[in-house]
Amino acid sequence: MRSAHTVEQVRAAEATLMARLPEGALMQRAAAGLAAAVGDFLGGVYGRRVVLLVGSGDNGGDALHAGALLARRGASVEAWLLGDRTHETGLAALRRAGGRVAAPRPLGAGAVDVVVDGIVGIGGRPGLPARVAEVVIPINQAIPFVAVDVPSGVAVDSGEVAGMHLRADLTVTFGTHKIAHLVDPAARACGAVELVDLGLDLPPAPVEALGEADVAALLPRPRPDAQKYARGVVGVRAGSTTYPGAALLAVAGANTGLAGMVRYVGSAADTVKQHHPEVVGAGRVQAWVVGPGGGDEAERHLAEALADEVPLVVDADALRHVTDRVPQAVLTPHAGELAGLLGVERAEVEAAPLRHASDAAQRFGCVVLLKGRRTVISGPRVRITTTGNPWLATAGAGDVLSGLIGSLLAAGLSPLDAASVGSWLHGAAATLASGGGPITATDVARAIPAVVTNLAVRHWAP
């Protein structure tokens, strides 16, 4: 699991550790990790040309000390001093190692091998000062960048971006991940993220991302004496005469073997039975999936599902009819649907997905899964889904996701776990089915059992 902590949590942990270490030891650890990561990024150090963008804070010091290590290994290192003050110990170390200070200048592609962004660290304000942006934004578009802790200018604790900010090909962070590394739009600016362990003693993180082992541990497993009803029955109220395909896709997501039985109620029953003969009709369920392709029938489907007082997934057309608190629900909007729920513009949601997903979770008293490149699941805790690829942006993929989450609810997972495990599996299935090329929603549904099998082989004891 990747845990993402706030700036306040990191600063407190660093202060505790520094009190036990010799002065400067923590920065030396960070600098050593940064220098090693830059060397790996370049595929070697000797003869490489490195520019350090040095701000006033400790990450400027990290960059200078790392630059000194690179210079000792044969790199040509120059530092551009862009802050109001400079970390003097780091600057002295760079000069002793043969590095130099240079004035900022235009750099075209190939002029240097890498630029190390140490301008604004985790304690800085979002955005770049105009005088700094004028110098660094043009070269950010032409030369590979490695960011120290976070790309300069992003909002570390929210994952938002404000004003001008830099984009990194690689971000080297220290001690723990920060929220900006997981949450878009800031996460898009981070590129690949490499964590350097500093030995910090940290409290529980407010944001986390499940890993493969976490998902394997949470997945429902049939007991030796299992029977279909005990494994959970999921009901699907989806589709309409206009959109029967949505019913098929929601049922396909539910009918992946993770629950013991799938029931379908709706106007697409004949079509569903033709494609999924094992799916049965109305009856008792442990969870409902409501909304995909529901059209004018969605309001009635939602009311009938709520009357059963079981956990439910609310998606697509049914989201328009959520007006009160729904404590047992998982809402699965995309940005436009969440904007409608909250009465804001879509662009506002896209600019601050974590904030808006959390606002909706509080307003409706439930788990909210905001779909996106980095899906945000907000409820008792916040989880970010990092699986998937751009080919997953295809019609009907959300219908499959809602059915999959419903099956996990029926199998006994909590709304938070069902949403986060379902989203992880959905993204992993897309990657498996894609193989680097285009996919359809049906491909994603068909790949889910193979993903679960792979997890079982690697993580479940025989």
Give percent of the chain above pLDDT 90: 96
Residues 324, 303, single domain; the answer is: yes
Q: Tell me which residue of 113, 178, 131 sits closest to 150, measured CA to CA.
A: 178
Provide the pairing of β-strand 233-237 with 287-290: parallel
HSE-CB of 147 using CA atoms within 13 angstroms: 31
Mean pLDDT of the region 362-374: 98
Q: Is residue 439 scored above 90 in pLDDT?
A: yes
Mean pLDDT of the region 422-433: 98
How far apart are alpha carbons 241 and 31 in whole angstroms? 62
Which of 209, 229, 260 is the last residue before a domain boundary?
A: 209
In this prediction, residue 179 carries a pLDDT of: 98
Q: Is residue 462 scored above 80 in pLDDT?
A: no
Which of 177, 209, 241 is the last residue before a domain boundary?
A: 209
Residues 343, 410, single domain; the answer is: yes
pLDDT in tens, 95-135: 999 999 999 999 999 999 999 999 999 988 899 999 999 99
CATH of the domain at 184: 3.40.50.10260
Mean pLDDT of the region 398-417: 98
Mean pLDDT of the region 430-450: 98
pLDDT in tens, 27-62: 999 999 999 999 999 999 999 999 999 999 999 999
In this prediction, residue 162 carries a pLDDT of: 82
In this prediction, residue 461 carries a pLDDT of: 85
Residues 188, 84, single domain; the answer is: yes
Residues 126, 232, single domain; the answer is: no
3-class secondary structure per residue, the chain: CEEEECHHHHHHHHHHHHCCCCCCHHHHHHHHHHHHHHHHHHCCCCCCEEEEEECCCHHHHHHHHHHHHHHHCCCEEEEEECCCCCCHHHHHHHHHCCCEECCCCCCCCCCCCEEEEECCCCCCCCCCCHHHHHHHHHHHCCCCEEEECCCCCECCCCCCECCCCCCCCEEEEECCEEHHHHCCCHHHHHCEEEEECCCCCCCCCCEEECCHHHHHHHCCCCCCCCCCCCCCEEEEECCCCCCHHHHHHHHHHHCCCCCCEEEECCCCHHHHHHHCCCCECCCCCCEEEECCCCHHHHHHHHHHHHHCCCCEEECHHHHHHCCCCCCCEEECCCHHHHHHHHCCCHHHHHHCHHHHHHHHHHHHCCEEEECCCCEEEECCCEEEECCCCHHHCCCCHHHHHHHHHHHHHHCCCCHHHHHHHHHHHHHHHHHHHHCCCCCCHHHHHHHHHHHHHHHHHHHCCC
In this prediction, residue 124 carries a pLDDT of: 86
In this prediction, residue 163 carries a pLDDT of: 85
pLDDT band (50, 70, 90) for residue 78: very high
Residues 240, 193, single domain; the answer is: no
Q: Which residues of 294-333 are buried (b: 16+ CB within 10 A; e: fewer)?
A: bbebbeebbeebbeeebbbbbbbbbbebbeeebebbbbbb
**CB-CB neighbours of 129 under 10 Å:** 18
Residues 226, 176, single domain; the answer is: no
Mean pLDDT of the region 235-262: 96
How high does pLDDT run on average in the chain? 97
Residue with the two structure tokens 């996460």: 187
Burial zone of 251 (CB within 10 Å; 0-12 exposed, 13-18 middle, 19+ buried): buried
In this prediction, residue 256 carries a pLDDT of: 96
pLDDT in tens, 258-308: 999 999 999 999 999 999 999 999 999 999 999 999 999 999 999 999 999
CATH of the domain at 408: 3.40.1190.20
Residues 255, 128, single domain; the answer is: no
pLDDT in tens, 141-182: 899 999 999 999 999 999 999 889 999 999 999 999 999 999
How far apart are alpha carbons 158 and 178 in whole angstroms? 9
Pseudo-torsion of CA 214, 218, 224, 230, nearest 10°? -170
Residues 451, 362, single domain; the answer is: yes
In this prediction, residue 411 carries a pLDDT of: 98
Residues 313, 201, single domain; the answer is: no
Mean pLDDT of the region 389-404: 97
- Which residues face 147 on adjacent strands? 117, 171
Specify the pTM.
0.96
One-letter amino acid of 56 = S
Residues 83, 145, single domain; the answer is: yes
Domain that holds residue 34: 2-209
Q: Is residue 25 scored above 90 in pLDDT?
A: yes
Which of 181, 209, 237 is the last residue before a domain boundary?
A: 209
Residues 44, 68, single domain; the answer is: yes
**CB-CB neighbours of 282 under 10 Å:** 13
Give percent of the chain above pLDDT 70: 100
In this prediction, residue 125 carries a pLDDT of: 87
Provide the pairing of β-strand 382-385 with 375-378: antiparallel
Domain tally, the chain = 2
pLDDT in tens, 317-341: 999 999 999 999 999 999 999 999 9
Residues 384, 309, single domain; the answer is: yes
Q: Tell me which residue of 246, 253, 259, 254 sits closest to 291, measured CA to CA.
A: 246
